[in-house]
Amino acid sequence: MPASKRDQLLATAERLFYDQGFHATGIDRIVTAAGVVRMTLYNHFASKEALVMAVLKARHERFMASLDTAAAAASPGQATLALVEAHGHWLEQYSQHGCIMAQAMGEYAEHSAEIHALATAAKTDLLARLETAVARDGLDHHTRLARRLFLMLEGSNTAVAVLGAEVALADTRAAADALLSAAWSETP
C-alpha cells in the first residue's frame, strides 16, 4: 500500500533534516524530494516548525517502541542489557551520524523553546526507560546506575559518528557489562 502524502512528507523531511540539518533544509527541498507540491505540505503541517515537531515525535515514538519491545522480551534480570542492545541496534540502523534529538537541541536552543523541550523530553524518556529496566532487574538500590548507563548511551550517540558503529557499540556493550557486573556484585 502506498504511503500517505503525510507519511511521505514525514519520511522525506526526517531523512533530509537528519542528513543536512534542520535549518539548512528548506521547505522547497522537502517538497521536491517528496514529490509533492508546497500546498500539500501546508495542508498537513501549518509551518516548518510543525513539520519538525511531527518528525521528532514520530521518530521518538519508533525509538521508544523499539526499546519497549526489547525490554518486554528480555529474560528476567536482562531488561537493562536488552535496552542497551536495542539502543545499539537503533544507532546501527538509523543514527550512524549521531542523535537527531541532540541535533535538534543544538539547532533550536535559541530558536524554538517548544522544539528544544520536545527533544529534551525524549532524552528524559530514555532515562526513565533505563530506570524502569534497572528496577525490573532488581538493581534499583544502585541509585546512580540508570544515570551512568544513560550517560554511556548518550556518549555512544556521538561515538558512532566518530569511531564507527562497530567499535563504538562494542565499547558501549563492554562498558555496560562492566557497570552491570559491578552492580550485580554489590546486590544484597
Q: Are residues 91 and 147 in the same domain?
A: yes
Q: What is the pLDDT averaged over residues 86-103? A: 92
Q: What is the pLDDT averaged over residues 100-116? A: 95
Q: Are residues 13 and 38 in the same domain?
A: yes
Q: Rounded mean pLDDT of the chain? A: 94
Q: Are residues 17 and 61 in the same domain?
A: no
CATH number of domain containing 125: 1.10.357.10
Q: Are residues 37 and 121 in the same domain?
A: no
Q: Are residues 86 and 160 in the same domain?
A: yes
**Residue 113 grid coordinates:** 523553546
H/E stretch holding 62: helix 48-73
Report pLDDT for 138. 93
Q: Are residues 2 and 72 in the same domain?
A: no
For the chain, the C-alpha Rg in angstroms (whole number) is: 18
Q: Are residues 40 and 62 in the same domain?
A: no
pLDDT one-digit tens code per residue, 126-148: 999 999 999 999 998 888 999 99
Q: Are residues 30 and 92 in the same domain?
A: no
Interatomic CA distance for residues 115 and 74, integer angstroms: 33
CATH number of domain containing 2: 1.10.10.60
Distance of CA 160 to the CA centre of its chain: 13
Neighbouring CB atoms inside 10 A of 22's CB total 24
pTM: 0.92
**Residue 131 grid coordinates:** 530506570
Neighbouring residues of 68: CB distance < 8 A, sequence distance ≥ 6: 129
- Are the beta carbons of 45 and 31 closer than 8 angstroms? no
Report pLDDT for 2. 53
Count of structural domains within the chain: 2
Q: Are residues 86 and 143 in the same domain?
A: yes
Q: Are residues 90 and 155 in the same domain?
A: yes
3-state secondary structure 24-35: CCCHHHHHHHHC
Q: Are residues 65 and 83 in the same domain?
A: yes
For cell 563504538, the residue is 168
- Are the beta carbons of 122 and 103 closer than 8 angstroms? no
Q: Are residues 13 and 71 in the same domain?
A: no
Which residue range is the domain that position 79 belongs to? Answer: 53-185
Q: Helices 79-94 and 48-73 meet at what angle, rounded to 10?
A: 140
Q: What is the pLDDT averaged over residues 42-57? A: 97
For cell 538500590, the residue is 141
Per-residue confidence band for 1, with pLDDT thresholds at 50, 70 and 90: very low
Question: What is the DSSP secondary-structure string of 90-123?
Answer: HHHHH-TT--HHHHHHHHHTTT-HHHHHHHHHHH
